[in-house]
Structures are given as C-alpha cells and as structure tokens.
C-alpha cells in the first residue's frame, strides 16, 4: 500500500526491485515515514539514497546478509538494527523470510534536532553507517511499532512522538561523535500550562502533532515532551487522547448526538477508530453509553 511519497524514496525503489513488499506504510509530518516490509528472496542494492533510513528487524533475518566483494560480512537476526545514511552504498542478499521496519527521514530533520535540542551547528553531525548491529533500545522501539495500530487516531500521535525520539537517538548515538542526551529539569510555568490547555481544547477536532504543540511555546519537541510529562503526568499524545474522549463523552450525553459527527468533532478519523478508543477508555461502546446501557 505504498503512497505517492513512498514511491519517490530511493530505498523503496531498491526494495521493490528486490521483491520486498510493504505490509503497511504511515506517512508522518515533513516527509518522514514508517514502513513495515517483508521479503523472502532476492538482492537489494542501495546506491547513494538521497534520504536516511533506520531499519529494525522484527521477525527472522538470519538468512539476510550484507555482501562485500561477493562475501557475506554480516548476518541479520530479530532485533538487528541498520542505519543507512544518505549517500551510503550497500548490497544485501535475502535467502529466507523476514520482516523489518524502516523509518525514513532527511538531513532537514537531523538539522532541526541538532539545533533545537543541543544548540549546535548541524554541520557538526556526520552519521555513520551501522549494519546488523545489536541495540536493545532500538529493538524495543521496533517491537513497540510492530504491535501498534498505526492508523488509529491515538497511535498516529504516539508514532509522531516516537519518530522525533528516533531522530534524537540517531543523532545522539549514531553520529561520528556521540552526543550526550540533554538534561531537562523543571516544569512548564503555570501560564504555559494554561496556554496549552486552552490551545489543545481549541484544536481537538484537528490533527495535533508534537512539533505543532512544541512550537506554541517555542520549545524543541524533545524539551517540550519532557516538560509536558513533568507538568501534566502524561505524554502529550496521551493527554490529547484523554481530552478527546472526555469531550466525546460529554457530547454523547445528548440523545440526538450522531456518533460519526461526535467522532469527527473530537479528532478521530472514523467511526471505528473512535469506537475502539472509547470502549478501551470507558468500558462500553459509544452507542451503549448514549443509550444509557452498561
């Protein structure tokens, strides 16, 4: 289910030519994207892609090898991590079924992260190639993404949040020089909290991503997320989801409320997404709640 953007990515072309197929694709903001791939046989050659790609194996991979001069120089495994910087070259041979996640991002993403999180010139960062390495933290992120429903309203916000975190990890840990994770202490001021409460309430019917909310306070997504959790006790996407569901419950107290209209007014993409989220939170379907049935 590749999209128009997906089809323009160099690594996507290489994978498709090698017989790989995407199980699902999620386009994120500013050209970033996630893709869940599967393959079982073939060769993939990455020739100087114009974008970066982080790969995390989720199932299998033991029969996937990186080739140099006709020889296998590394083997995959569940949880293996690869980083393909823009401009890198590599050849891969696949001799057995496996599944993997790709996260696509650009230099612009890295530059914003370096400038806003570490207050450094972007030119100080040079990504290094990483091929089939062990990284428990990234492997755990891969398992989380593998189990997530990417197309649900709540998960879309969570995945956007996770995308910013992945760029931060790549920038801090996979560059030529390791950057220490910045320390963030304190909380948002009372005025900032009130501003956020009001602006989020006004925007509950629209898509709300981490960068947009951080921009309201002129903070980097990383600092904003840390300060928000310290101030509200929830991650930003969790808070937004809770406010959407609470608004929906209030609206459903009106007997004539149309469930689809309520879902859209509260920022849910469709009736089914809304119903699943409502049932998880309140233990009953929207229609049962509206009719007063337990």
What are the structural domain ranges in the chain? 4-148
* Mean local confidence (pLDDT), 176-185: 70
What is residue 7's predicted lDDT score, i.e. its pLDDT?
58
End-to-end CA distance of the chain: 39
Is 4's pLDDT higher than 50? no
Q: Are 144 and 219 in contact (CB under 8 A)?
A: no
What are the residues whose beta carbons fall under 8 Å from the beta carbon of 25, sequence distance 6 or more?
1, 2, 3, 6, 33, 34, 35, 36
- Per-residue CA distances from 195 to 150, 216, 224, 237 (Å): 29, 9, 14, 17
Is 44's pLDDT higher than 70? yes
What is residue 6's predicted lDDT score, i.e. its pLDDT?
60
Q: What stretches of the chain show up as alpha helix (H) in DSSP?
A: 4-7, 10-17, 107-113, 136-147, 153-173, 190-202, 210-216, 221-232, 236-252, 259-265, 271-282, 286-291
Q: Are 262 and 286 in contact (CB under 8 A)?
A: yes
Q: How confident is the model at residue 3 (pLDDT cuts 50, 70, 90)?
A: very low
* Mean local confidence (pLDDT), 24-36: 91
Q: How confident is the model at residue 159 (pLDDT cuts 50, 70, 90)?
A: confident
What is residue 129's predicted lDDT score, i.e. its pLDDT?
94
- Per-residue CA distances from 155 to 152, 218, 251, 252 (Å): 5, 25, 23, 23
Is 117's pLDDT higher than 90? no
* Mean local confidence (pLDDT), 212-218: 92
CATH architecture of residue range(s) 4-148: Sandwich (2.60)
Q: What is the mean pLDDT of the chain?
A: 89
Is 110's pLDDT higher than 70? yes
């Amino acid at each position: 289910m590749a999209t128009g953007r997906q089809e323009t990515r160099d690594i996507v072309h290489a994978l498709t030519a090698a017989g790989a197929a995407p199980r699902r694709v999620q386009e994120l903001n500013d050209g970033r994207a996630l893709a869940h791939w599967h393959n079982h046989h073939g060769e993939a050659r990455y020739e100087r892609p114009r974008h970066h790609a982080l790969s995390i194996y989720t199932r299998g991979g033991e029969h996937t090898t990186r080739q140099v001069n006709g020889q296998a120089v590394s083997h995959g495994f569940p949880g293996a991590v690869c980083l393909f910087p823009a401009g890198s070259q590599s050849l891969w041979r696949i001799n057995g079924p496996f599944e993997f996640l790709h996260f696509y991002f650009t230099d612009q993403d890295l530059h914003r992260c370096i400038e806003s999180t570490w207050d450094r010139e972007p030119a100080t960062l040079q990504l290094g190639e990483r091929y089939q390495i062990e990284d428990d933290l990234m492997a755990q992120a891969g398992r989380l993404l593998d189990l997530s429903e990417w197309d649900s309203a709540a998960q879309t916000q969570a995945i956007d949040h996770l995308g910013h975190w992945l760029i931060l990890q790549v920038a801090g840990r996979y560059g030529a020089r390791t950057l220490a994770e910045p320390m963030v202490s304190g909380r948002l001021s009372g005025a900032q909290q009130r501003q956020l409460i009001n602006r989020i309430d006004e925007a509950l019917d629209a898509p709300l991503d981490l960068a947009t909310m951080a921009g309201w306070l002129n903070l980097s997504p990383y600092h904003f997320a840390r300060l928000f959790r310290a101030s509200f006790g929830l991650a930003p996407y969790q808070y937004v989801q809770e406010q959407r569901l609470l608004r929906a419950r209030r609206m459903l107290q009106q007997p004539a409320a149309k469930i689809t209209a309520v879902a859209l007014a509260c920022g849910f993409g469709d009736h089914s997404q809304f119903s699943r989220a409502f049932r998880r939170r309140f233990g009953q379907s929207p229609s049962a709640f509206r009719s007063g049935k337990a």
